[in-house]
Structures are given as structure tokens and as C-alpha cells.
């Protein structure tokens, strides 16, 4: 599918649950976001039907996210079914890593080869603070386990937070010397609960890059890592992994946007930062045929804006990342 700005849309990010087992400060309020009643959340077979239509429309790359996707019952059989369809090129997962020790092997066998794992600090106490109770060791062991299993690439997503992890940016970069990890710094976006903290906590990718180069030497630009989307990659001399920067705010990447999102409650979302949504759930539940469902995908693609306006101060869209699927 091509949108009105000539972008090829071949990637669907599916939020398979709005629930989470962590409460990251920038993503969720303390008590969690009021999750949708269970019957408003798409059933796994409805998500599979949506993915089938997406595939018919030329979407061949899928990412499961959430909330925490590994919490969703039925996630492994879902991936197995998706992976069996001819034409599906890639299934990736974005996870907080809490359940990777238990589920890493099953995910790999089901057909996932690429993982993005969120990790904002390497310090156990700070990890507990930022996630409101998470166990760093549990996640780190999960990371070691998936490297051992052979996932490739394994990317670490680090939301850059001034006065929280700024003294660790260099340590994260150093990890790439010892591990084949792709560490990616993401600029904090003023969305959901981070709307208030974004001003004080924001740090730009340029600042992080300067700090790393000052401490560890020149970063050499790298060709894109598989499935790298909006990140820009570099490597340190002799490193096993790479260092990526996602300039979500300072230099946005909308011109290359190739994606649609499907929210856990069944809305197709043309842009992370735009309120427009196209309801797929009703159609799925009222027995709509392939043609009707395809039209809804076409409608969503037609609604993709040229770019988002977060950096120029426009208000962020109403839902938070954990609801839309970051």
C-alpha cells in the first residue's frame, strides 16, 4: 500500500494487550492506566484475522507490543500461526524482558528472531525506581538468555532521561564492546504520563552522541541494522554491537514512516501522535468480509499525516504509549 505522500506501508505494530507487569514512570501512572474491559480487547483470533487482511494489503512485517505483549495468554500459538503464512517476512517483539527467561525459547521456536528489550538503567535500585518495582537481575538474565538462544538482532531500548540515566549513557555504549547488542537511545516523547516530565527530563540524541564520543572515541556510521526503522546506527572501533539513536523529537523521521498500528481494542492508528483512528473491531465482530476489512486499511493509510507536530508544541494525542502500543 502506498499513502498519499508516496510512502510504502508494509509494517503493522500490534498492541496485543494494554496490561503491563511494570509501571514505568514515563509510561504509566502509579495505579496503572484503567485498562479496557476484557470484551473491548481484541481476541487473538480477531487479531489474526486483522493480520491476514494486512498481509493481503502488502503488509509483511509485524511487531507485537503493548502493554507487555508476553503477558497475553495465547501469544505463542498466535505467533506460530502468523509465522506459517507464506509472505510473512518478519515477526518481532518489543518487551520489557521480565518474562524472557521463561518464554525466550518458545518465542524463538515460534518464529520470532528479533527482539527489542526496554532497559533504561543498569543499576538495580534505579531500575526498581523507574519501573516502580521491577527486578533488574531478572531482565538482565533474560537478555543473556536470548543472546544465548541466538536471537538476532537483540536491541536494547533506552529512553534518555536527564537526571536519571545521563551518567550511564557511556556505560550503555560500552556494553556493545562485550555483547552483540544494539543499544538504542530514544528521545523522550511528551505522550501519556510523560507529558509533565518531558520538559525537565528530555535529552537530545545529539547530546548523548557527543558524550559517548568524548568518553570512548569516534562513532563510525553503520549501515542499517535489520528492521532498524527510524534509528541511525554507529559503532565503536572493535565493538560487537552497535549504538543507535532515535531522534523522536529533534529530527523526526516521518518521511520514512512505513507503519500502521493496531491498538489492543481494535483501532487502526495511522500515526502514533495523531488522534485519528479507524475502528476495525466492529467490522471484525459483525462478520465483515475481506473486501470491507481491506477498505478500512485503505482508509487508515489515507489518514496518515505527512508528519507529526510534537516538536513544535502541538498537544500530544490522548492515549499513552502503553495503550497505543509503542
Binding residues for ligand SF4 (CB under 6 A): 20, 22-24, 27-28, 66-68, 96, 118, 322
Between vectors from CA 275 to CA 188 and to CA 25, what angle results, nearest 5°?
Answer: 30
Using CB distances below 5 to 8 A depending on partner kind, what does residue 28 bind out of ligand SAM, ligand SF4, none? ligand SF4
Q: Which set of grid coordinates corresponds to residue 209?
A: 552522541
DSSP string, 104-160: HHHHHHHT--EEEEE---S-HHHHHHHTTS--HHHHHHHHHHHHHHT-SSEEEEEEE
Least distance from ligand SAM to the Cβ atom of residue 118, Å: 4
Beta bridge partners of 312: none
User: Interacting stretch for ligand SAM, rule CB under 6 A, among 61-69, 206-214, 218-226, 284-292?
Assistant: 61-69
Closest CA to 273 of 255, 287, 299, 254: 254
User: Interacting stretch for ligand SAM, rule CB under 6 A, among 43-51, 63-71, 123-131, 253-261?
Assistant: 63-71
Strands 242-246 and 220-221: unpaired
User: Interacting stretch for ligand SAM, rule CB under 6 A, among 128-136, 189-197, 212-220, 255-263?
Assistant: 189-197
- The whole-angstrom separation of Cα 211 and Cα 169 is 8
Say whether residue 131 binds ligand SAM (CB under 6 A): no
Using CB distances below 5 to 8 A depending on partner kind, what does residue 257 bind out of ligand SAM, ligand SF4, none? none
Q: At a CB cut-off of 8 Å and minimum separation 6, what does 132 contact?
A: 22, 23, 24, 25, 30
Instruction: Say if CB 53 and CB 82 are below 8 A apart.
Output: no
By beta-carbon proximity to ligand SF4, the closer residue of 20 and 268 is 20
Say whether residue 118 binds ligand SAM (CB under 6 A): yes
Least distance from ligand SAM to the Cβ atom of residue 209, Å: 17
By beta-carbon proximity to ligand SF4, the closer residue of 229 and 325 is 325
Closest CA to 65 of 120, 118, 108: 118
User: Interacting stretch for ligand SAM, rule CB under 6 A, among 46-54, 99-107, 304-312, 318-326?
Assistant: 318-326
Using CB distances below 5 to 8 A depending on partner kind, what does residue 65 bind out of ligand SF4, ligand SAM, none? ligand SAM
Q: Which set of grid coordinates corresponds to residue 98?
A: 521480565
Name the site residues for ligand SAM (rule: CB under 6 A): 20, 26-27, 65-66, 68, 94-96, 118, 157, 159, 186, 188-189, 191, 194, 321-322, 326
Amino acid at each position: 500500500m502506498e499513502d498519499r505522500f508516496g510512502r510504502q506501508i508494509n509494517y503493522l505494530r500490534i498492541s496485543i494487550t494494554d496490561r503491563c507487569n511494570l509501571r514505568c514512570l514515563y509510561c504509566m501512572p502509579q495505579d496503572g492506566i484503567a485498562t479496557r474491559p476484557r470484551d473491548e480487547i481484541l481476541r487473538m483470533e480477531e487479531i489474526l484475522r486483522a493480520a491476514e487482511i494486512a498481509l493481503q494489503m502488502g503488509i509483511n512485517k509485524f511487531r507485537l507490543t503493548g502493554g507487555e505483549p508476553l503477558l497475553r495468554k495465547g501469544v505463542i500459538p498466535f505467533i506460530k500461526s502468523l509465522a506459517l503464512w507464506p509472505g510473512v517476512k518478519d515477526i518481532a517483539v518489543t518487551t520489557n524482558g521480565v518474562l524472557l527467561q521463561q518464554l525466550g525459547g518458545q518465542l524463538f521456536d515460534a518464529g520470532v528472531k528479533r527482539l527489542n528489550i526496554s532497559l533504561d538503567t543498569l543499576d538495580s535500585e534505579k531500575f526498581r525506581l523507574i519501573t516502580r518495582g521491577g527486578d533488574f537481575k531478572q531482565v538482565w538474565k533474560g537478555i543473556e538468555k536470548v543472546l544465548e538462544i541466538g536471537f538476532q538482532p537483540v536491541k536494547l531500548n533506552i529512553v534518555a532521561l536527564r537526571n536519571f540515566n545521563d551518567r550511564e549513557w557511556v556505560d550503555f555504549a560500552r556494553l556493545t564492546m562485550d555483547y552483540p547488542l544494539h543499544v538504542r537511545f530514544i528521545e523522550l516523547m511528551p505522550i501519556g504520563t510523560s507529558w509533565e516530565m518531558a520538559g525537565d527530563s528530555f535529552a537530545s540524541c545529539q547530546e548523548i552522541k557527543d558524550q559517548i564520543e568524548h568518553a570512548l572515541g569516534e562513532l563510525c556510521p553503520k549501515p542499517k541494522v535489520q528492521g532498524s526503522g527510524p534509528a541511525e546506527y554507529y559503532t565503536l572501533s572493535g565493538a560487537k554491537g552497535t549504538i543507535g539513536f532515535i531522534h523522536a523529537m529533534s529530527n523526526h523521521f516521518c518521511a520514512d514512516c512505513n507503519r500502521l498500528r493496531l491498538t489492543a481494542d481494535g483501532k487502526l492508528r495511522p500515526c502514533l501522535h495523531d488522534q485519528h483512528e479507524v475502528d476495525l473491531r466492529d467490522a471484525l465482530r459483525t462478520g465483515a468480509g475481506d473486501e470491507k476489512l481491506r477498505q478500512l486499511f485503505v482508509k487508515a493509510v489515507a489518514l496518515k499525516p505527512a508528519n507529526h507536530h510534537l516538536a513544535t508544541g502541538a498537544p500530544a494525542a490522548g492515549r499513552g504509549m502503553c495503550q497505543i502500543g509503542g
